[in-house]
Amino acid sequence: MEQYIIKGGVPLHGEVEIGGAKNAALGILAAAIMTDDEVLIENLPDVRDVNVMLEAMSQIGVKVERLTPHSVMLCGANIGDVNIEYEYIKKIRASYYLLGALLGKYKKAEVPLPGGCNIGSRPIDLHLKGFKALGAKVSIRNGSICAHAEHLKGCHLFLDTVSVGATINIMMAAAMAEGRTVIENCAKEPHVVDVANFLNSMGANIKGAGTDVIRIVGVEKLHMTEYSIIPDQIEAGTFMFAAACTGGDVLVKNVIPKHLEATISKLLEIGCRVEEFDTEVRVIAPKRLSCANVKTLPYPGYPTDMQPQIGVALSMAEGTSIVTESIFENRFKYLDELARMGATSKVEGNTAIITGTDKLTGARISAPDLRAGAALVIAGLSAEGVTTIDDIVYIQRGYECFDEKLRGLGAKIECISSQREARKFMLMTG
Ligand code: UD1
């Protein structure tokens, strides 16, 4: 089992390049099978979730040609099967995007029900409500969602909860339905816009992505395209908090600063200096971070995927902070791990009260999930002494070359798989 070993206390300095957005990539890969033509996708992040998605796609007959680690040519002309295997959905929930894509294109799909996830219960009732409103018959059989329709017909739909997944899934199916669909109370996340732009580049007619209301006029056929995925706002935000927590000064390159507004606003509030350029953001940490209150909200609010990172910052800040998690109920597990490093917090329902400590100290801890794992790496980088982190497979789901990029900023971090490597690291780092 691989672990990260970290010798903390080094302020991060220098420049880091951000990759393509994982969450946009997952939607775009699924949408790419909706044409029989070849589709070229660039700025693809080379992370585990993306690679599993590509495997799931090739299992149903999609031609997947990885041209470079960051570009892939796909062709969905010879899809022989509309059933996705449980093995893939178990590894990566977002393979449920294939439901919307297959239903739109072939008017039928079968995808296993995604299981529970460790950040909270994640229902998909809204996805199904949308498919039904488009005229599909949806049933659950032997643990799978089976959706089929003679014809998909455009509809007017209100989503009860703002959901990224439901917005993207319904938008894909509606892109190839007959007539006009209006989806209200949509998610406005940058990756919803990116999937819409991608579909439009294949000939879809989608307007309003990025606002509350998306209007779609269905088309019969989609065509070839070449498309480059937007930069990953969460990877960028994670490096920005790594700079803030370690007392560093980091230029984060290849970003869209507009997508980072909520993160930047909180970094300013906790005392950082932030300089914005066209495609870069520089974060300069203060001597000591200040406390702040934060509540996660759908975009453009503060992202739930950035909650553990700010939680780590606040655990070292001066004063007491209140963090409210309003999207997923089970996203405070990292605080138990942080407590082992000397942090003080109390969780009540969806609120955590965090009292900052002067200094975290290294400990052996585990990554509870993807973003919490990345946040704990930041804690290790900021702490005095050595931290080892187990279960880093979660982190590798969404961060490409995380340890390598951090080393590029001066961090003392290695990915190890034996005690011998741990001893070697200790000798090297003193
Ligand atoms: C996506 C992101 C994830 C991020 C989340 C919120 C991907 C692959 N994942 O997840 O990283 O944390 O957005 O920004 O893009 N809900 C329902 N019924 C549904 C669907 C959702 O009640 O049918 C609820 C969820 O329980 C949650 C809220 O809606 O409380 C938002 O979830 P949603 O936006 O759907 O998250 P995901 O698309 O799963």
Residue 154 in domain: yes
Domain boundary among 158, 187, 219: 219
Greater model confidence, 330 or 214? 214
Respond yes or no on whether the N-terminal peptide bond of residue 231 is cis (omega within 30° of 0): no
Say how far apart CA 331 and CA 404 lie, in whole Å. 27
The range of the structural domain enclosing residue 67 comes to 22-219
| Domain co-membership, 10 together with 26 | no
pLDDT at 410 over 80: yes
Q: Residue 189 maps to which CATH number?
A: 3.65.10.10
Residue 225 in domain: no
Residue 402 in domain: yes
| Domain co-membership, 368 together with 418 | yes
| Domain co-membership, 393 together with 246 | yes
| Domain co-membership, 86 together with 213 | yes
In terms of C-beta density within 10 A (0-12 exposed, 13-18 middle, 19 or more buried), how is residue 134 classed? Answer: buried
| Domain co-membership, 136 together with 203 | yes
Distance from residue 165's CA to the centre of ligand 1 (Å): 6
Please report which confidence band the pLDDT of residue 120 belongs to, taking 50, 70 and 90 as the band edges: low
Residue 226 in domain: no
pLDDT digits (tens, 9 = 90+) for 265-302: 999 999 999 999 999 999 999 999 999 999 999 999 99
Domain boundary among 219, 249, 282: 219
* Structure confidence at residue 89 (pLDDT): 79
Which one is catalytic: 75, 117, 155, 291? Answer: 117
Residue 224 in domain: no
Say how far apart CA 47 and CA 400 lie, in whole Å. 5
| Domain co-membership, 67 together with 201 | yes
Radius of gyration, CA atoms only, the chain:
22
pLDDT at 117 over 80: no
Ligand 1, CB within 6 Å, residue ranges: 23, 26, 94, 122-127, 161, 163-166, 187, 304-305, 327-328
pTM: 0.97
Domain boundary among 199, 219, 239: 219
User: Is 245 known to be catalytic?
Assistant: no
**Average pLDDT over the chain, rounded to whole?**
95
Number of domain units in the chain: 2
In the block, which residue shows the tokens 């732009």? 197
pLDDT digits (tens, 9 = 90+) for 58-73: 999 999 999 999 999 9
Residue 97 in domain: yes
* Structure confidence at residue 116 (pLDDT): 46
| Domain co-membership, 71 together with 9 | no
Residue 148 in domain: yes
